[in-house]
Every structure is written in C-alpha cells, then in structure tokens.
Chain A
Amino acid sequence: MNPSKKVNSKSIRRNRLIAYTFLLPSIIGFVLFILGPVIASFLMSFTSWNGFGVVEFIGLDNYKQLLSDENFKISFINSILFMVISVPITLFLSMIIAVALNQGIRFVKVFRTAVFLPYVTATIAVAAVWQLIFNPTMGPINGALMKFGIEQPPGWLSSPTWALISVSIVYIWHSVGYYMILFLAGLQGIPDYLYEAAELDGAGPVRKFFNITVPMLSPVLFFTTIIGIINSFKIFDLIYVLTGGGPGRSTHVLVYDIYNTAFKQFEYGYASAMAYVLFMLILIISIIQFRGQKKWVNY
C-alpha cells in the first residue's frame, strides 16, 4: 500500500508539472481574456450600467425583471425552437454528406469545396440571395409551389409563422459544410481494416455505416453535437441581416436580444443578466450530454 502511494503522489506531481508546462500558454491567455471577462460580466449582471457614469449595484433586480419580461420570454422560446429544428437536421445531413464524400468519388475535392462554399460566403451576400429565393410573390420557391396548385404558399421570411423556419433553412444550408469538415476529420481516424474485415463478412453499406462508422465516429459526433447546440444558440449575424428579428418578434432570439439590449438600448447590466441565463441553459444541456457520453461514446 504505502510504496505504491509514494509512487503515485510522485508521479502525480511529475505529471502535474508536465501538464501545466504544456498548458501554460493556453491558460494564461484563457484566464486573462476569457475567464476574466466572463466573471466580470457575471458581476455586471448585478448592476445597472449604461457604459458611462456610476455603476449601480442593484442585486438580483435584473434577474427578477427577466422573469416578467415578455421580450425575454419570446426570445427564449424562439431560441429553443430554433435549436430543435436546426441542429439534428444539420448534423444528420453533414454526416451523410461527409460519408458520401469521404472516398471513392471522382472530383471529390470539387464537391467538398462546393458544399463548403456557403459557409465561406459573407453573411450579407447570403442574406441578399436568400431574400430573393424566399420572396413570397416572385421568388422561385413560391413560383414552383403555385405551379403545383398551392394557392397560398407560405410567406417565408415575411410570415411570423414561417420566418423562424426560413432562417433555419438558411442556417442549415450555411452550416452543413462546417460540420462536414469535422466529420471528415473524424472519418479519417477510422482504420480501413475495420471496413475490410466487415466486407469479408458480407456486410453491405448500411450495415457498415451503423456498425462501424457511427460507433467509431462517436467522439466526433459528441463533439459536433455539443458545438452544434452551442452554435445554434449563438446565432446572430444571420438573423441581424436576414430579418432583423422580425416580422414582429418571431425571429427574436436570445443573442439578438442581448445585443439589442446592450448596444442599442445601452443597458449593459441587464444584457449581462440575460447572457447568464442563456449560459445556464446551454450549460445544463451540455452537462446532460457529458454525463450521457459514457453510454454511447467509444473512446
């Protein structure tokens, strides 16, 4: 017992030393520029401040106000809806596309670049184009729908019911390339011999996918799910340019609300409180996932 403990504490110390040496550049920057501001804005959420003058400490007032704030409730619900619609579809599509484009196709580099192109295009341009596509009277989508006999096609971006879905469509189109890359990187980590062995056993493409690809991809899948959810809650640029939060408040999501409150209404304290509620939401979802990973992720 004792000798092994001695060995352990010595090696722990040694490991710590090595680990912190490796971590040094990252941790300094992280603590100073990320952790620090995060804590500072947590403190700010208990104050009322407009960027100038005295910082007033107001305790939990901001949080109390949030509970009865209608704008906040609407953004909260919109954000969750958006996440639920966009994330699963995005991940599913990008995984399939990554598998399809992994190997065995001619001009695979060209296709991959094509899929990635939306992500690279400036948000302003993306918005301009999709506004045209979604145009309720003259756009191609409704033009086609009306030809097929649908008399009252959806208003898309100009309809409070359809606007969020329309934004999701654009978001999915835009992001698939991003997640495809992550899946491609993961796919590269799957050794070929596993597939070869399966083929010898007579497995078809579907079997290979579900029995080899998915399990071997699980660390990457976990990663992309977390990132995917986090990113969906952070959406801002696209909404800013595409709908400006409208029509009405149907595409008002949390980050847009935070931005508005902080930089258009100059209420930094209140905005920080909103941001922390958003943070808690994402944190809870992520903790659930971290706990769950033991069940389905293979390392």
Chain B
Amino acid sequence: MELMNLATEAPVYTANAKRKKKISIGKMFRYLVIILVSLAMVLPFVWMISASLKAETEIFGFPIKWIPETFRWENYKNVWTTVPFHLYYLNTLKIAVITTILVIINSSLAGYAFAKIKFPESNKIFFIYVATMMIPYQVMMIPQFMLMNELGLVNSHWSLIILGTVNPFGVFLFRQFFLSIPDELLEAARIDGLNEFGIYWRIIMPLSKPAIATLVIFSFMHSWNDFLGPLIYLTSDNLYTLQLGIQHFITEYNTEYSLLMAAAVSAVIPTIIVYFLAQDHFIKGVASSGIK
C-alpha cells in the first residue's frame, strides 16, 4: 500500500513544485482583479453609510465628502424613534423566516418529484411552472388580491407568507440541482429498501446544502426587500414591514435623504448576516463526498 502511495505521489510533488512559481504571479493578478471588483461593488454602499451620518444639506455636495463634518448619529436615533422601527423589524423578520422555511420544504418536495420520479406528466407540469415565472408580478397582482380578499387574508402577514411560498423559482432550482445527483445513489438506496420519502430525506437533502443555502438566501432576501407585496396587502401600521416603513421618509413634498439612508442601512444588516452565514455551505465540497 505504502509503496503504491509513494509511486503516485512523487510525480504530483514535482508537478506542484513547478506550478508554485507560476501560480504566484497568476494569483497576484487574481487578487488584484478581485479587489478592484469588490471595491466597485462596495463603494456605493460606503456612500450610503456616509450619507446616513450627514445632515441633509451635506449629502449632495460636490466633490463627494466621504467623511461627514459632524457624525449625526441622531439620524439613526430619529429613524428608530419617530417611527416604530423595531416593530417593522420584527414583522419583516417573522415573515421572512416563516416563508423561507416553508418554501424550502415545499419546493424541495416538488423538485424531487420532478427530478427523480418518473411519471408521464412530469415535464408538462414542470414546464407550466417555469412558464408562469415569465409573467411579471404586476399581472397576477390584481386577481391575487381579489382572491386573498375573499379568503379574508388581506391585512395579515399570512397573505405575504403564502405568496412567498408558492414561488415556482424554488421548484426550478431544486429540480435542476437534484438532476445532477446520480441515479445510482438512489438505486442503491432503493435496493436497500428505502422508500421514496426516505431517499428524499436521508440522501438527497443532506447532499443539497448548496441548493438549500441558495434558496435560503434568495427567499429571505426577497421577503425582506419586498415592497409591492406589503404595500398591497398591509393597511395597519403595526403590521408594516421595513420597506414600507422606509417610505415614511418620502412624502409628497420632500424626501429626507439622510434619514432614508440611515433606515436603509439599518434594514440591510440582517440580509448581510444571513448571507455571510449561509456562505459556509458553499465552501464545503459536499457533492464530491456524495460520490465517494
């Protein structure tokens, strides 16, 4: 055994040694590009933070003053006190979390059916799912509202949760992902006597961490940033979400930019946290362990 290892390892070692020299230049270049790209991505966000700490008249000055003359932390205080911001936060959190959990269960079950169970209508139904994704939300808005109204769900968080859960995007995502999981794995499990649900729960789902992580990010963010949905379905101020709350600062006659930015920055933090945490599941090479 050991002899064999030495034999295979030797050429790999020398190849690696040669590569190490070449890599450093290539790697430096890679770092440079990545840093530039990241800066371009982040700069506007930095401006946002800077604006949130300025007085209103300072914001649109030229050239851009990155560091405010006086740090107006009271902008943040104003945002959190003049409107019930913490309530909006909780509302938004509640909707986002529940929707995300439900949509993962919902979509993964459906995605499994489409990807791994052979039944004749599979492609046709799936195509209908995908087709409806092409229809802009504005189109379905009114009949959806009428239906929700009949069901008595208007002015309740459940209208938003339901609408977030039925999104076909999740089904599409899971189906594509499951398709890349080799059938042999499932066959082996079937031979071992596992039923379909068991296969789904014990084999497919653990392998799907990247897909789950992806959907968590998208669904959470979509709920968090949704403006049109809450606008249509929520009337009582105590049910409002963050995006609606932010609109408080845009009235017909004036836009208070500094407060708006402070509110926007406050609202962005949880999505960043969710994203940062979910990232872990991209790093582990989960699929390769499945093959072995």
Contacts and interface: CB of A to CB of B under 8 A. Distances in A.
> A contacts B directly in the complex (CB < 8 Å)?
yes
B117 A173 contact: no
Interface in B29-65: 30-31, 33-35, 37-42, 44-45, 47-48, 51, 60, 62-64
Interface of A: 12, 15-16, 18-20, 22-23, 25-27, 29-30, 32-38, 40-41, 44, 51, 97, 100-101, 103-105, 108-109, 111-126, 128-130, 132-133, 138, 140, 173, 176-178, 181-182, 184-186, 188-193, 199-200, 205, 219-220, 222-223, 226-227, 230, 233-234, 236-237, 254-255, 258-259, 262-263, 268, 271-272, 275-276, 278-279, 282-283, 286, 290, 299
B129 A30 contact: yes
A219 B169 CA distance: 15
Contact of A185 (B38, B260, B282): B282
Given A38-B140, A117-B42, 14 more contacts: A26-B109, A37-B144, A40-B143, A41-B139, A109-B279, A125-B260, A176-B41, A181-B218, A185-B177, A219-B176, A236-B136, A268-B142, A271-B139, A278-B135
- The 5 closest A-B CB pairs, nearest first, are A37-B143, A26-B110, A114-B38, A40-B143, A29-B166
B38 A115 contact: yes
A115 B142 CA distance: 35
A109 B30 contact: no
Interface residues of B, number: 104
B196 A22 contact: yes
B30 A105 contact: yes
A25 B107 CA distance: 9
Contact of B210 (A25, A128, A189, A254): A189
Contact of B117 (A18, A188, A237, A286): A18
B120 A33 contact: no
B134 A192 contact: no
B282 A226 contact: no
Contacts of B180: 189, 219, 299
A19 B147 contact: no
